[in-house]
Each structure stands twice: as structure tokens, then as C-alpha cells.
Amino acid sequence: MQEKIIAPSILSADFANLGEEVTTVVNGGANWIHFDVMDNHFVPNLTIGPMVCKALRDYGVEVPIDVHLMAQPVDRLIKEFAEAGATYISFHPEASDDVGASIESIRSFGCKPALVLNPDVNLDRLEGYLKNLDMVLLMSVFPGFGGQEFIPAVIEKIKELRQMIDGLDLDVRLEIDGGIKLENISEVSLAGADTFVAGSAIFGEKSYKEVISKMQKCIE
């Protein structure tokens, strides 16, 4: 299995001091920064665009930026986020008119492609695409808003996907997003996840370094 990654979601950060917030969380041990991009169409919320990604790069943020597109159509945003400094770009297959072409578009811009599956979307949706991905993101809440509770049934889905990835001997990350906190990150890790998005569980604490350190110990 790959190195375990903690990816704080800036959806829960203080946007009035975003550059400072991201610097503090990275200095506290965060491996990546996770972007939740919502368009108030594909999901019922409106968040951030590529300008924020570019602003963080210009501010000096050097860690990988993991962009989760909850938007439709995805293809124009792929180009804009790639040019803004994204590292990983993930999208929902139902948001693309041609999933294979969108994956290739992400790679053509020098980024790493990922597909996202909501809790009610079966793993067979990955058929024909898994070998062409760098990561699969399993949602453990229904996307739209931060602070939701983890859906326990997703644990079995993580186990099944881990078996699929290992069975094919693929170098594909398994990311989990939604309701991740100190109380459940160990179970999620043991199920087979290697990349963990956490928003309010990190940015809601006084010491980002302390909570990230505790999370890292849980997934060792």
C-alpha cells in the first residue's frame, strides 16, 4: 500500500485568512490540500474556483493540491485548474459526457486523474477506467456541505475497492472524503484507504499540528 496521506479540506478553513491557514496546516503536517469545487448545479452549494488555487500557489503553497470537481460540465474546469496549479483533479463520472476523454484531458495537462463515487454509486462504475486512474475518491457523505457524519456502509465499499486495486496490482490511490475524524480514521485506514480528507475535524481544532499528529498515529 502507498504512503498514507492527510489532506485537509479548505472548505472548513477561515477564508479571510486562507493563505495563513493553509501554511499553518501544512507546517502542522498536512501532506496535501484538498479543494471542494461546487457549482450550485451538480451539488446544492457554491464554493471556490481556480483563482483560489492560483492564489495559494502564488502565496507559496508547494504541497500537492487535490481538486475535487463537483461541477458540470467538467472539461473547461479541468484546463483552468490545471493551469492554476492543481496536482490531482477528480470528477464524478455522471458529470462528464465522455469519462475517458475527461481522464485523458486531465493527464494531458500534466495532472493526475481521479474518479469520484458517491455513496450510492456502485464500484462497477469504474469498469474500463480504473487502470487509467491515479486515484479513486470514495465519498462517505453525500457531497454539498461540510461537517456531515460518516456513512458506515462505505467501509465495505472501501474493502471491496482495495481488493480490486490490489488484485490488478495497480498504483492507484484510494481516497476517502466525508466525516473523517479521529474517532473513525483508524477503521477507515484498516479497511484499505490510504488518503484521508478531513475538514472540520482539523480546521475546527485549535492546534492543527496536534490533531494531524494524532490522525497520523491512527493510520500508521
User: Which residues are marked as active site?
Assistant: 36, 177
SS3 assignment, position 146:
coil
DSSP letter at 9? B
SS3 assignment, position 99:
helix
Say if residue 73 is preceded by a cis peptide, omega within 30 of 0.
yes
Q: What is the dihedral of CA 103, 107, 111, 116, to 10 degrees?
A: 10
Enumerate residues 6+ apart whose C-beta is below 8 A from 85. Answer: 53, 54, 56, 57, 65
Pair 47, 11: CB distance under 8 Å: yes
Residue 77 CB burial class (10 angstroms; 0-12, 13-18, ≥19): buried
Q: Which of 23, 94, 1, 2 is nearest to 10 (CA)?
A: 23
Pair 96, 73: CB distance under 8 Å: yes
Residue 178 CB burial class (10 angstroms; 0-12, 13-18, ≥19): buried
